[in-house]
Amino acid sequence: MGKYFFSVLVFSLLCALGICMAQDYAVGEEDILKITVYDHPDLATTARVSGEGVIAFPLIGNVKVSGLTTSQISQKIAELLADGYIVDPHVSVFIEEYKSKKTTFLGQVMKPGIYSLSGSTTFLELLSKAGGLTKDAGEKAVINRRSNIAGRKESVITIDLKRLVEDGDASLNIAIMDGDYIYVPKAGVFYITGEFEDGETVFKAISAAGGFTENASTGRVKIIRKVGGKEKVIEKAGMNEAVLPDDIIVVPESFF
């Protein structure tokens, strides 16, 4: 895994130099905006986006900003101020804190946890924020992605870390979305993830995925479960253990 760490370090340095720039970001609930109007310091405002997607601004009151980029918010406020308040206003909007879009990154990374997404964020950018991979990391990362379309199940995306980080296959450096759940298992494990039906058990899930391999350690099966945004691990799960949606089933290899 040594080459992984070197590649991630290089990527981190490029980000620090400003080479990897976030694209325009759609503002959402809890984001904090800093707004200034040229030549009108009295209108300088720092505002948090409310649950209704609005901010309060002097002279013009509540402004709906959720779903807009900073440039669109600048234009909207300028148009409202120009309507009887200020002649030809020049408005600047900056995001002081990103709060609305989050992803969970767990498993074999140096700093697992919940991360805010600041603009368009790629997998490598997020991996850099998480401190890179641990020495025990496997060669795959799995992403559970919820669907924004009613009735459609979440999708599961698998990333080959060796091809991405070591071989430089940029096609695998996908954009991370709000609500993604990312997990990097240890090396030498078999894992199953996805949507499970009511009444699903560990045995049924493993059977549906093709069954145990000849090297599987059937007595050390784990279930990794999201509980309140945190990782809960059920050790030595039995074959009749109930499986819940978003669970990850891990089957280590046997060394004998």
Tens of pLDDT, residue by residue over 221-244, are: 888 887 876 778 888 888 888 888
Structure tokens at 194: 């996805």
188 or 244, greater pLDDT: 244
Angle (CA) 226 227 230, round 5°: 75
Cα 131 to Cα 115: distance, rounded to the nearest angstrom: 12
7-65 tens-digit pLDDT: 444 444 444 433 344 446 889 999 999 999 999 999 999 999 999 999 999 999 999 99
- % of the chain beyond a pLDDT of 90: 42
Is the pLDDT reported for residue 99 higher than 90?
no
CA 77, distance to chain mean position in Å, is 30
